[in-house]
Amino acid sequence: MTEKILILGAAGRLGKACAKAFRDAGWDVISFVRAGADMRAAEGTTVIQGDALDDEDVLAAAKGASVILNAVNFPFGQWPAKILPQNAVAIAAAEATGATLMLPGNLFVYGKDMPPEIDETTPMHPQSRKGKLRLAVEQKIAVSSARTITLRAGDFFGGTNFGSWFDLVIARDVDLGVVRYPGPLLVPHAWAYLPDLAETFVKLAEKRDTLEQHAVFGFPGHPASGFELLAAIRAAMQKGLKRRSFPWFMLWLGSPFIANWREIVEVSHLWKRPNRIDGTKLQAAIGDIPETEFHHAVTQALDDLALRRTTGNIAPASTAD
């Protein structure tokens, strides 16, 4: 019997990547998207348009699903009003249907005292608003009656959707021969290649009955330094690129007046402090962790966003398949 998964936020970068991965693994995938976003959902999935903040919409979509993956995200400015209520809707649907709830975790929950390597036992001391909200979400999940799986990862790259540090900042101006990096070049930074992360969600879903009720795992991904990432981009572009600094000072000055800038500044320590994620527990649970070779992953990420041509010319980019 084919298993069914409901993916909330299936038109977003993580949701769409996971929809493709579960589809390719033989699952019956329900892509839940907001109104008007149906054309951005993965082909070969059943698309339902609805409101991820509406209990009835989500519960109806979850009928018959054995897994619910909550990949909904909001613009930073909407987090205080929406992130906790939306996650409460997802938790309620999982509790009502008996489905396992899966959630992507991040590094916002760690403050400026974070150690260079993070595992499932690392204390969470967020100072940022985003970090405190994400911690509150994880605390709500940990006391729910549903079976839950949280998979913590670093910054995303890869896939056909824009919206990450990789495409909005670092590689944004490669057509002009320019890259920007927001931190010291020697400091390792945790990166998660989305196709690998999505495949890992599939593996965990298949192992869900063997896990504790509220399982938390770290996805190691690629802890690459700025030097390593920029070298991979240069190799993929097959040309020299000039590095420009990131305007942290401008964001700091404007942060009292611009909400998004304030949120970015509050987590700037993630670029200044080394961070990598230990995958020991994850490997014990699923075996080999999906890991595309770093240079190939970077090249494919640029190709997926139409940011790379062998001539160095740039094709028009699209967020839709």
CA distance 305 to 314: 10
HSE-up (13 A, CA, CB side) for residue 33: 21
- Using CB atoms within 10 Å of the CB of residue 186, give its burial: 0 to 12 exposed, 13 to 18 middle, 19+ buried: exposed
pLDDT by residue, tens only, the chain of 321 residues: 799 999 999 999 999 999 999 999 999 999 999 999 999 999 999 999 999 999 999 999 999 999 999 999 998 888 899 999 999 999 999 999 999 999 999 999 999 999 999 999 999 999 999 999 999 999 999 999 999 999 999 999 998 888 899 999 999 998 889 999 999 999 999 999 999 999 999 999 999 999 999 999 999 999 999 999 999 999 999 888 999 989 999 999 998 888 888 889 999 999 999 999 999 999 999 999 999 999 999 999 999 988 765 433 333 332 222
CA distance 313 to 315: 7
Strands 117-118 and 46-49: unpaired
Identify which of 67, 82, 107 has the alpha carbon closest to the alpha carbon of residue 221.
107
- pLDDT at res. 180: 95
DSSP 149-209: EEEE--EEE-SS---SHIIIIISTTGGGTEEEESS-TTS-EEEEEHHHHHHHHHHHHHTGG
CA 19 to each of CA 50, 82, 194, 258: distance values in angstroms, whole numbers, following the listed order: 17, 23, 12, 34
CA distance 289 to 283: 6
* Domains of the chain, first to last: 4-159+194-221+273-290 (3.40.50.720)
Q: What are the tokens at 268?
A: 């700037």
- pLDDT at res. 308: 66
> Radius of gyration (Cα) for the chain, nearest Å?
19
| Ordered alpha helix ranges (H), the chain | 13-24, 55-61, 79-97, 129-142, 165, 194-206, 226-237, 248-254, 259-266, 269-272, 280-286, 294-304
Identify which of 53, 137, 126 has the alpha carbon closest to the alpha carbon of residue 103.
137
- pLDDT at res. 321: 25
Q: What are the tokens at 257?
A: 């007046």
